[in-house]
Amino acid sequence: MPTILTVEQVCKQFGSVIVADDINLTVAEGEAVGIIGPNGAGKTTLFNMIAGSIQPTSGRIIFGYRNITKLRPPDRCRAGIGRSHQIPRPFSGISVYENTLVGATFGGGREGVDAKRRCIDILDRLGLLAKANQLAGSLGLLDRKRLELARALATEPRLLLLDEIAGGLTDEEVHQLIRIVTAIRATGVAILWIEHIVHALISVVDRLIAMHVGRLLAEGAPAAVMANAEVQEVYLGIEEP
Ligand SMILES: Nc1ncnc2c1ncn2[C@@H]1O[C@H](COP(=O)(O)OP(=O)(O)OP(=O)(O)O)[C@@H](O)[C@H]1O
């Protein structure tokens, strides 16, 4: 499959603190890649640089064949990078449907009946259609996470960045979320997913990347990365005997 995202020699410094240290990674079209790492490893900072809300200190970000390093976040969204945030922040005073419509109109560039039809289809796929007219602010956690995904999908992404979407959910809710992400994945959207709930991640992704203090520690098949001695030590706290 052709590459959809290339992160090339990306570094980020906040003052004297290095939070991304020569990051190189690729995601192929339709591929699902997981990112794990302890708190403060630089995972969200990496997403912020891919989505454009912060600029790398150096390095390049290529989306498709386009260098998007200097592009503003709305333009990256319109180019096909969708994002869900760690803490869902829907427009709580408007309905679930209207929240989704904002994404379809803004990112997907659709209007009128076309945008409305797309939103209804997305809400149906995510199991939110029955709550379409409810205020977003009245939703429980799982539904807020579903809405976060719906809003991101409405922008018609070719690459979806998921930031800790399983956090705070019950086991049953995590299973529901896994089914949703698997279904999104089956539509051909590439996924880059940061997650602390590793079993959820591993049940969906093709490849895993482990980060630690701004660096890529290991990368490859999920089982191999989880068995890596350095990953076990820094991430799971398991030291070699
Ligand atoms: N705007 C900022 N200014 C200064 N330091 C920052 C800023 N944003 C992030 N950092 C620092 O960068 C480091 C990486 O943070 P980041 O949120 O990317 O980690 P993370 O791997 O996503 O962690 P978590 O799993 O807790 O979400 C942390 O030490 C954080 O304090």
Q: Is 43 in the pocket of ligand 1 (CB under 6 A)?
A: yes
- Which residue spans of the chain are classified as CATH 3.40.50.300? 1-80+158-241
CATH node for 1-80+158-241 = 3.40.50.300
Identify the pLDDT of residue 154.
92
- ipTM of the complex in this document: 0.94
Tokens of 28: 């192929």
Element (H, E) at 227: helix 222-227
Contact 86, 162 (CB under 8 A): no
Ranges in the chain, pLDDT < 70: 107-111, 236-241
Tell me the Cα Rg of the chain.
18
Q: Is 12 in the pocket of ligand 1 (CB under 6 A)?
A: no
Tokens of 203: 């049940």
Helix axes 112-125, 141-154, angle to 10 degrees: 140
Identify the pLDDT of residue 110.
64
Sign (positive or negative) of CA dihedral 91, 92, 94, 95: positive
Identify the pLDDT of residue 235.
72
Tens-place pLDDT, residues 83-138: 998 787 888 889 999 999 988 887 666 667 788 898 999 999 999 999 999 999 99
Identify the pLDDT of residue 239.
63
Global pTM? Answer: 0.92
Identify the pLDDT of residue 105.
82
CA dist list (Å): 143 to 1, 33, 146, 191, 212: 33, 24, 5, 20, 31
Identify the pLDDT of residue 241.
56
User: Which residue, by CA, sits nearest to atom 31 of ligand 1?
Assistant: 40
Identify the pLDDT of residue 106.
73
Q: Is 44 in the pocket of ligand 1 (CB under 6 A)?
A: yes
> In a mutational test of the pocket of ligand 1, which residue from 43, 85, 86, 164 has the highest number of ligand atoms less than 8 Å from its CB?
43
Tens-place pLDDT, residues 20-29: 999 999 999 9
Contact 25, 32 (CB under 8 A): no
User: Which residue, by CA, sits nearest to atom 17 of ligand 1?
Assistant: 44
